[in-house]
Structure formats: C-alpha cells, structure tokens
Chains A and B, each alone.
Chain A
Amino acid sequence: MNTSPIESWDAAGAIFSFAGGGGATLFCVLTVVFCIVPLFFTLKTENHHENMTK
C-alpha cells in the first residue's frame, strides 16, 4: 500500500502516512471506535462481577 504523501524529501512538510488524504480521516474514526468499544467490554465485565458477587 502506498501511503506516502511525498515523492521527495526536498521541501517536504507533513510526512505522515495518508497526510492530506482520506486515510487520515478513516484512522481518526477508527481511533474513536477503538476508544469507545473497550468501554462496553469493561462495563460488561463490571456487570458480570456485580451479579456474581450478589
């Protein structure tokens, strides 16, 4: 996969993968998802232990 935003180091600015393209936005969205989804698993674990210790 070619993710490079540059073809030469001369006068290069943003050099991160997907810079200036849609890929960056996609990984922003995925970052949000991968922050939120683990919270649901954590909540599930908590509820499980709440019920188990009753």
Chain B
Amino acid sequence: MTPAELEAALIWANKINMEVYYYWCTAIMVLIHAGFMMYEMGASRVKHTLAAGTKNVLAFAYMIPTFWLFGWWIYLAMTNGFVPDFEAGASALPWSDSMGPNLEDNATGVFWGAFTLFACTTASIMSGAVIERIRMTAFIILAVVLGSVVWILAASWGWHYAGWMVTEWGYHDFGASGVVHIISGFFALGVLIHLGPRIGKFNADGTANVIRGHSLPMTMVGLMLIVTGFFGFLGGCLFYGGGGPAGIGQWTNIYGMPTTLSAICFNTLMGIAGGMIGAYTKTRDPFWMMSGALCGVISVAAGMDLYYPGLAFILAFAGGVIGPVAAGFVEKMGIDDAVGAVAVHGVCGILGLLFAGLFLGGYPTFSEDIPAVTFFGQFKGMIVMVLLGFIPGYVLAFAFKKIGILRAGDNVQEVGMDVEIAALAYPEEIISDAAK
C-alpha cells in the first residue's frame, strides 16, 4: 500500500467511524424521549395518563419532518443573528442533494438526526410542565416552534463555531446548558403564565396543594432513562475526529477546541452523582433525587469538557440543591409547573452558563480572533438565552389563549384529558380509588 493509499484508507475509516458514532448517539438520545414519556405519564393522574403520553409522542413525531423542512436550514443560515445567510444554508434546504441519501455525503444525515433529537428533547422539557390541561393542537404547534425554530436559532448563535455569540463574546456552552435547557425552561415559563394551573392546584389564599401523579416508580424509571440518554446527548456534543494530523483523530468540542470522550465521561458521571446527592440531601424526596441528576448534569454541562471532576461534582451538588428550591419559588409565584421543568432546566441552565464563566477563565479558544471565555460573556449569553426562550413562548401562548385553543375546558379536565384518546390506560378494576 502506498502512503497515498494509506492516507485515503485512513480518511475513509475516519469518515465511516464518524457516521457510526453519531448514528448511535442519535439512537441513545431516543431514550431521553422514552424517559420523558414515562416521566410525564407517571406524574399524571390516571385519567390524564394516555393524553400525557400521546402528547409527548406526537411532539417527537412532528419534530422530525419540521426539522427536516426548516430546522436544519435555520442552524446553518442564521449564525449572524436574524439575517439569513442563504449561501451557508443552501445545502440544508429540504430539496438539496445533501438532505437525502447521498454517496458523497456521510455527514449531513447523522448530524441532522442528532440535532433533530436535541430538538425533540426541548419539546419534551416543555411537555412535562403543561400536563393535564393543555390542548393537543396548541401543544404541537408550540413544540414545533420551540424545537424546530427557537432552540435551533439559539444553537446557530451560540453552538456553532461561526455563531455571533461565539465570535463576539467567546460564549462557551459545551453541553447545551443555555441553548437547550435555558431556552426550553423559559419557553415553558412563558407558556405556563398563560396556560394557568391545573384545577385544584392553588387554594383561594394562594397556597399550593400537592397533586400526586399516579405512578412515582414509573416517573423514576423514566428519569433514569433520561439519564441514560444523556450519554448520547452529551456524546453528540463532541465533534468527531477532525482536529488531529491530516484532519483525523482528535475529538473537539463544537467550537473546535480539543477535548476527549474521556473528559465527557468523567464529568457526566460526576454531574449526575453530585446532582442526585445534592437534591436528596435537600429534599429526601425520590422524585427530586432523580430530577437532581438532571439538575446536576445541566449545571455542569456548559463547561464539562474542561472541569476537574471534583469541581464538577461540587457544582452539580449545588445544582441539585438549588433546583428544588427554585421549583418552590416558581410555585410561590403562582405558576403550576407540574414537573419542575422551569427550575430543573431553566434555572440550572443559568447556573451552568455562569459556572462556566466563573471557573473557565483563561482557556484559549480555537482561534486568536475569538475572545476567551469570560464571566461577562457568559452572563450576556445567559440573558440572550432567557429572552430568546421566554418571549416566543409567552407571545405564542398569549395568542392561543386569545383564540381559545390553549387550555382544555374545566369539564374536560374534570373528566380527564384521556377522554380524547380512544383507549384506556389501565383496566378500571385494577385502579384503586385513591389513584383515580
């Protein structure tokens, strides 16, 4: 074999390995969606169970064609802000040669697939918050706007090597604390303000009642599936093998800075553990212990490519403590967030960005023209993410409320949202009166 043939063979092997890697990251990320579905169904009362699950599955189903139609184009074309770069986005138009089977393009399909699953995750984050009273049509449209427009616009700005937040501020968000979690959490908050609480959640004096779901074990297993899926999610945040000799071999983050899969393994596990222990210490509640895993990993996600594992554990512990406290604050404000999505994703996403600003000063970026990570850059990025998530959710939910398609009527809620589903979750005789 000549040196030229050897180099060609290496390049081919690298290309195929890259394809295999993202294909399986995408498959593992489907577990996040399976987990959210179980989580929400368990957190629902029996009469709403199937509506919660169906809503979640339909969000998944709608995200895929809409992300193919325009989501991927937004990512490639909108790096400058609100003015599209049509040339950069041309290959992402749904009728372009790259957006289907193409023997000269091993990358687009698997990258599109991974990003589509990130989009599905954003919709799932909102989905749990609004269970037991949102109407299906409104939810699907909100999910499509969140997953196929808003989050991917945020990703184009702050999760793309040419995004304006990266090139102007040195914004660093390795594991999507901002672009996925803040965006989804605050979009959900905007929707919840107009959606209103479940019937019976708040008393006349403003105090809150606990509405228990029908299966905490189902919710806990769902959360464990989400934790499992995070390995696909965070593994998919790496860029495969483009940074070594001859463009082969070295992992980089999405900004082109070298890293390793081992780095992500250290800090994903330490983040999960810190969050679980922190939330359990704070609440002694199994629901929050499992949600604490999410609080922890989201709190360290932005900088997990660079943190010392001991630091990641402590930051995640803090996230696990702060998550349930923030959920209590949201409830005190009269917002009924059925699963704590605003606190877990929105507030812990904020922590993730600010922690990276505090602890990652001094690291060089991939180009001398790009500013280094600073607390102020991360802080400004956080403000952008909060507003970009909140405003569309608030405005769209307001419009749906005005035309009367946002919230199910009280009678439908009393009978159960499952009245619209042509099936029963369980044979009635096995359900105790208490669970009904």
Chain B positions 128-159 with a Cβ under 8 Å from a chain A Cβ: 135-137, 140-141
Contact (Cβ within 8 A) B101 A54: no
Instruction: Produce 1/0 per residue, A1-20, CB < 8 A to B.
Output: 00000000100111110011
Stretch at the interface among B7-15, B187-195, B405-413: B405-413
Contact residues of A: prevailing secondary structure = helix
Known: A24-B100, A54-B411. 7 other contacts (CB 8 A): A13-B105, A14-B101, A14-B104, A28-B95, A35-B65, A39-B137, A49-B412
Q: Does B62 contact A (CB under 8 A)?
A: yes
Residue numbers in A under 8 Å from B65 (CB-CB): 31, 35
Residue numbers in B under 8 Å from A32 (CB-CB): 69
Instruction: Produce 1/0 per residue, A31-54, CB < 8 A to B.
Output: 110010001001101100110011
Q: How far is the CB of A4 from chain B (nearest CB, A)?
A: 12
Q: Does B243 contact A (CB under 8 A)?
A: no
Interface residues, chain B, with chain A CB atoms under 8 Å away: 62, 65-66, 68-69, 94-95, 97-98, 100-105, 135-137, 140-141, 405, 408-409, 411-412, 414-415, 419-420
Q: Which of A9, A14, A19, A43 contacts B405 (CB 8 A)?
A: A43
Contact (Cβ within 8 A) B95 A25: yes
Q: Which of B66, B103, B405 contacts A35 (CB 8 A)?
A: B66
Residue numbers in A under 8 Å from B409 (CB-CB): 50, 53-54
Q: Which of B102, B141, B408, B411 contacts A39 (CB 8 A)?
A: B141
Q: For A20, give the chain B residue with the smallest CB separation.
A: B97
Given the interface pairs A20-B97, A42-B136, the reply to whether A53 lies near B102 with Cβ below 8 Å is no
Interface residues, chain A, with chain B CB atoms under 8 Å away: 9, 12-16, 19-20, 24-25, 28, 31-32, 35, 39, 42-43, 45-46, 49-50, 53-54
Residue numbers in A under 8 Å from B98 (CB-CB): 14
Q: How far is the CA of A15 from the CA of B408 in the complex (A)?
A: 46
Q: Which residue among A9, A14, A20, A35 has the maximum number of chain B CB atoms within 10 Å of its CB? A: A14
Q: Which of A14, A25, A45 contacts B420 (CB 8 A)?
A: A45
Contact (Cβ within 8 A) B69 A24: no
Contact (Cβ within 8 A) B103 A13: yes
Q: Which of A9, A16, A45 contacts B100 (CB 8 A)?
A: A16
Residue numbers in B under 8 Å from A45 (CB-CB): 420
Residue numbers in A under 8 Å from B62 (CB-CB): 35
Residue numbers in A under 8 Å from B137 (CB-CB): 39, 42-43, 46
A–B pairs, 23, beta carbons within 8 Å:
A13-B103, A13-B104, A14-B100, A14-B101, A14-B104, A15-B102, A15-B103, A16-B100, A20-B97, A25-B95, A28-B94, A39-B137, A42-B140, A46-B135, A46-B136, A46-B137, A46-B405, A46-B408, A50-B409, A50-B412, A53-B409, A53-B412, A54-B411
